[in-house]
Structure formats: C-alpha cells, structure tokens
Amino acid sequence: MKFTRGLWMTRPNFEFTSAIEFARCDRDGNTLHVLASGVAVHGRGDLLAGGTLDVTFSAPMENVIRVTVTHFAGTVDHAPHFETFDQDTEVEIRETEEYVFFRSGKLTARISKAKSGWQVAYLDEKDEVLTSSGYHAMQRMLDKNTGKSYTADSLMLDVGECIYGLGERFTPFVRNGQLVDMWNADGGTASELAYKNIPFYTSSRGYGIFVEDSGDVSFEVASEKVERVQFSTEGEHITYDVLYGGTPKETLDLYTALSGRPPMLPAWSFGLWLSTSFTTSYDEETATSFIQGMADRDIPLSVFHFDCYWMRGYNWCDFVWDPDTFPDPEGMLKRYHDRGLHMCCWINPYIGQQSRLFREGMQKGYLLKKKDGSVWQTDLWQAGMAVVDVTNPEARQWYCDSLRPILRMGIDCIKTDFGERIPVKDIAYFDGSDAMRMHNYYTFLYNKMIFDLLKEERGEGEAILFARSATAGCQQFPVHWGGDNSASYVSMAETLRAGLSMGHSGFAFWSHDISGFESTAPADVYKRWVQFGLLSSHSRLHGSSSYRVPWLFDEESVDVVRYFSKLKNKLMPYLYEAALQAHEHGTPMMRSMNMEFPWDPACDTLDRQYMFGDSLLVAPVFRKDGCVSYYLPEGTWTHLLDGRVQEGGRWMKETYDFMSLPLWVRPGTVLALGNRDDRPDYDYPSCCTLHGYGLKTGDEVCVRLVGTDGRPADRVLVKMTENGVNVTSESGKQYEIVLHG
C-alpha cells in the first residue's frame, strides 16, 4: 500500500506518526521495550507535541528477533493469529551511550539513541548490517477520509539484493519492483492474484522476514520506495520476525521451525497420479478404461483421482457417490485397490443448497452467517451455496464425520479444492473472528481439519492432501498444487516460477496440473510438461474439459509418460531422502538455483531451471523445437540420461528430443538409484545401486537411505582412495557402486 508521493511528500489523505528518535527503553525479562518519539525532542514541551510508537523486541527462538510496533495499545483484537512454535531462548540485552543492543543467537538488533536519528539495524554474527529500519520507516498512518489506521515498517535493501517468496506467485520470480497484497483469490495462474499468499520473504543476503498478521498485509518491494521493502497492515500495531540463517536453506529451517514443519509423506504419493479431470463425463467404466489403458501400455500408476462429479451436480458437497454413475463405489474401490492403486476424491468447504448437508448445517448453526443471523449464500460456483464455519469446533466435527464414510469405504487421500472465495462483508463468525483477517486464515483451519481427519483414519505418515489454497503454516498439510494454468509453454513457465516461489515461502512439497488445466495442450506441450511434471515433487495428470491420458495426444506421448514415470520411480531412493530433508528442515524438494548456490550471483534470478533435491539440475524445455538455454554452475557435471560430462560455470544452449531434457548430476554426488521402476514404494536399501558422479581421490560422500516408513534405514560412506573406491555402511550391508565421469 502506498502512503507517499516521492521521497518527501505524503499522500494528502494520510497523516502519520513516525519513529523519529529514541526516547527511553526498559527491560522486562527477555523482552526489550523501546519508546520512540514521533517528534524531535529539544525540550519538555516537545513531549506534548506528538505521538509515540512502542517498539518491543523479543526472541521466539535462537537467531530470530520478533518486533512489534504499536501506536494505540487499547484496540480490541479479534483477529485469528498464526500458530507459532516458540522456544525458550537466551537473549543478550545491553546498552551503551550510543546504542541499545538486543541479541538472539547470531542476530542482533542495534537501536540508535542519536537525536533525530532513529534507526534499528539488524546485524549478523560479524556485526555487519543485514538490513535496517530508519528514517520514516516505522509509521502509523491515519486515512483522514476513511478513519482507518495502518501500521508499517520498511527495511533497507542493499545493492543487488533480491527478494523471493511471499507465496505462490506467477509474476516475475524476483519480487523487486512489485506491489504484493496478501489476499487469497481464485485468479488462475496468468495474473498477479494468488491462491497461496504467505507473508514471508527471503533475501539473497541470507535473512527472512515473516509478518505475523493473517490479514491483507501489503508489501511494497522496492516499488514505492526503491531502496526498501515496506510492509503494512490495517490497525494500530504490526508484528514481524527477522530470521537470520545466513543462507536461504538455513533461514527456511528457522522459518519452518517457527511456523511448522511439513510431515513425512507416504512413498506411494510420489508416483504418478491420474485424474478423471474436472467437467468430463465419466463413470466406473470410463475410470477403469483409463486405469487399464495405463497398465496395457506399461505406464506405472500410483494414484487415481475422482474429481467433483463423483457426486451429483448441484449437490457439492454432500459426500455421496452419484448412484447413476457409481452404483457400487465400495466394490469399485476394492477392485482398484486390488490393482495396487491408491484413491483420491475431490471436496471443497462449500455446501450447495441441494446438498443433504445444507439444511442440517443451517439448523445446527454450522454454516457461515451474516451479522443478522441468516446464512450467507451465493450462486457463484454452486447454486445457493453456503460456507462451513470452520471456527466452530462442532461444525468441523460434523463436516469431518460426514466425510468419514468415504474414507472407510476406501478413499486414501483428499483433494481439498477452493478455500479462497471466503466472504468478508457483513460476516459473523462463530468465534467472533474478524472477517477480513479470516479471509486468508480460513484455509488453515479448513486444510488442518481434513489433514487431521486423514491422520485419524489412515494413521500418522499416511495422511496427504492435494490442496489449492494456503496461508502461513499450511506447509504442515501438504501437498499443494499450482491451480488453474493453461495449456501453453508460457503457462508452464509461470507455473514453474510459482513453484520456486513456494519453495522460498516454506512449502517443501508442490505439484501442478501437467499440460495445463484449461483447454487441451498440443502434443508437444503435453510431452514437455510431462518431463517437468515427473521431475516435480508430486506428479498429476489433470485437466478441465478433456482427459489427460497420453494416448489421446499421440503415440510418442505414451512413450514419454512411460519413460519419465519409470525414471521417477528409479529415483525414489534419492527423492525420498530429499523428502526427509524437507520434513526435518523445511528444505523444498524443488529448489531455486539461488537456494542451492547462493554464492553464485548468476543464480540469483534464474527461474526456468531448478535443483531437484541437492544433486539434480533440471531445465525444462519451453519450446516446440526442443531448444533450451540454461546455466550450469562451476564444476564437472554429468548428464543423468546420456552420461555426457560437461564443465560448468557457463551457459548452455542445446536441443533435445521428447525423450530427454537437461538433467545434470552435481559434481561429487553419490546417487542412490532404485533397481525397480514399476512403483514408487519399495524397499530402497535392499533394492538400489549407488552411482558416483565426478568423484575425485580424497572425496568422502555420505549417503542416507530411507525406508518406506519415512525413517532413516542406513548410512553409506563412499571414500575415493588412490587404490579405488571404498564403500561401508552402518548396517554392514554391501552396496554395489558404479562410477561415472
């Protein structure tokens, strides 16, 4: 949100109170309270001349400093608040003639005591400034036209500093120059709107900022003030955390420790998912023909998904199978399970007026109400639909109990669609929550209740969603997918940008609709997107009005889907260890080049390639002619598919057919590749071969192998000596190793 016109002028409808100079400070245990005057104080009369800002510093965990800026402290707070996992943390508070210091771990806030020289600088372990809040940065703004107040702060940017994250955004990957509002919306992928707005960003300088406000936080990223990132929210206070890890990965480790770690996901979920698609006509015969068609063509399939028309039209959601198309759902699900498949069903949190649940929910007070007590309804999406009031514990239990029968019938996982179109005008929540701040937070409670239900019914480690909307903390309820994209190379590229942005926002697992949701892709786009999709965390063939089985595109599409599905299954010993990293530290499986190579400035802006885990570089092809340009960092890289060796530190321009793409193994890697390609879930330690790439004498590489239960099963140490390679394991098991490059 913009408050100024240029460097000196304030917009005429705003009057502001800014932190101008240090007044005094007090310590309360491990909290530092600083009073900042809104005017320069030259005498006692100036104490009456303007407002103040109360600024508090605390430490929710080591290497994190929480800052709260307050103007009026007496306002009532009806907002839902993000859940954070604070820890008892030792801090150091000290004062000199010039500064007050507040230190948490290797991060220090230095508050200047200079006359008319207000500044809070954030210092790293070497006492070098990471960023700072200075002149006219901490402010309370009053809109004289509306009477609304806003609180803001802005932090300085360094030369060449890049900002990433703020959710799943389809705009340019580097956020600099953008105005980004935290407001969940169903806008597709070809707009500045986003399904998943996360008020957290990371900097190329190794720190991150998390604004702890569930509402419409507005970020001006080197836009209104090109030297700063400004963040503002409506109200009389703002709270944000400064997190310093030193690298993007370590900063994400801190953020996900604070806001929630992703769980370990079942190994079967990493295989290929096939959907009935959205508005297509289907029944058991259609679904079976797809499943059998994949088997006949030797394409391994892991999950089959029933989209919305598993229920009758107008009845979404009532969680009742359409009897005209699925007369024997329980028998059908058993037949599919007998094939080794897992099953997924589509839901959303909206209750159409024709649903059997509408009248029951209305009578029991489980649907979202207007302030006059009537049920809020709309015809947008479903005729007369209402919204479940997820702030009501009884409503959550009722909704989950209504869904429970299909899980016991044989459904393994749930696609939690929607959750963005949550009304805010004239709305009264059961628990009194502020409707504006519930708009984004709704998705947290919605996805959490379904994830918790799946844990109850399926057990810990088996729960998985396919969710579209999100806010901060929703990384605890994976997987999320990228929403409604289009069947084009341009949309494929914007989808990748969004996935990389999600990685910088604390989300480790992410997927997308292979070949685009809207329209039907030409065969070349389908095949290129299949390569990208099967080298993503989770892989789903899904569309809108047409089926996505490969033989409907061309015969080569069948070959491409088969090859890359089997390749992903062979990669599972490596990928499942990357999933465990995600669970332990929040490190995304699909990582921007900057995240993996933060010391290489050539990687700062790259958004058409990524690292898949620690060791695989993927550059999807976005052209029909197969031409692709990408950057290889320094070192001797080996192409996984054809064995070529290439020196990095340079740009590459090559042409690939549909059976290949740039897929390079990082120098000094030992890659565990499975000896099975027919399914994603198998005994990895007993069914893998180690492959060494670019190893030199003296290299020592440790490989962690994970069991299908998601726990470490073995550690293997590979040493390169003058006499050859030495392989030892904690279990004593002998592993075969093949050297490349």
Given the residues 213, 220, 417, 596, select the one marked as catalytic.
Answer: 417
Which helix (H) or strand (E) element contains residue 500? helix 489-503
Q: Report which secondary-structure segment, H or E, holds 611.
A: strand 610-612
SS3 575: helix
Question: Nearest to residue 155, comparing CAs of 140, 136, 181, 169?
Answer: 136
Among all chains, which residue has been given the structure tokens 């037949």? 335
126 class by beta-carbon count within 10 Å (0-12 exposed, 13-18 middle, 19+ buried): exposed
436 CB contacts (<8 Å, ≥6 apart)?
215, 216, 234, 424
Backbone angles phi, psi at 628, to 5 degrees: -145, 135
Of the listed 212, 220, 307, 484, which one is catalytic?
484
Judge whether 475 and 262 are in contact, CB under 8 Å. Answer: yes
Residue where the block lists tokens 């279990």: 731
Give the integer Cα–Cα distance in Å for 578 and 538.
13
Question: Is 600 a residue of the active site?
Answer: no
Distance CA 473, CA 644 (A): 42
For residue 633, what are its two tokens?
């960092």
CB 630 within 8 A of CB 662: yes
Q: Which among 220, 420, 462, 524 is annotated as catalytic?
A: 420
Handedness of CA 114, 119, 125, 131 (dihedral sign): negative
CA distance 476 to 265: 11
Query: Count of CB atoms within 10 A of residue 446's CB?
Result: 26
Closest CA to 585 of 124, 107, 255: 255
SS3 63: coil
Strands 272-275 and 303-306, how do they pair?
parallel
Strands 342-347, 303-306: pairing kind: parallel
Closest-CA residue to 704 (of 713, 691, 695): 713
Task: Assess whether 417 carries a catalytic annotation.
Answer: yes
C-alpha to C-alpha distance for 304 and 273, rounded to whole angstroms:
6
Strands (E), 627-687: 627-632, 636-639, 645-647, 650-655, 663-665, 669-674
Instruction: State the Rg of the chain over Cα.
Output: 27
Position 728: which residue type?
T
Could you tell me where the beta strands, DSSP code E, fall in 245-332? 272-275, 303-306
Q: What is the DSSP string of 371-416?
A: TTSSBP-B-SSSTTBEEB-TT-HHHHHHHHHHHHHHHHHT--EEEE
Beta-bridge mates of residue 109: 102, 122
CA pair distance 729, 718, nearest whole angstrom = 9
User: Catalytic amino acids?
Assistant: 417, 420, 484
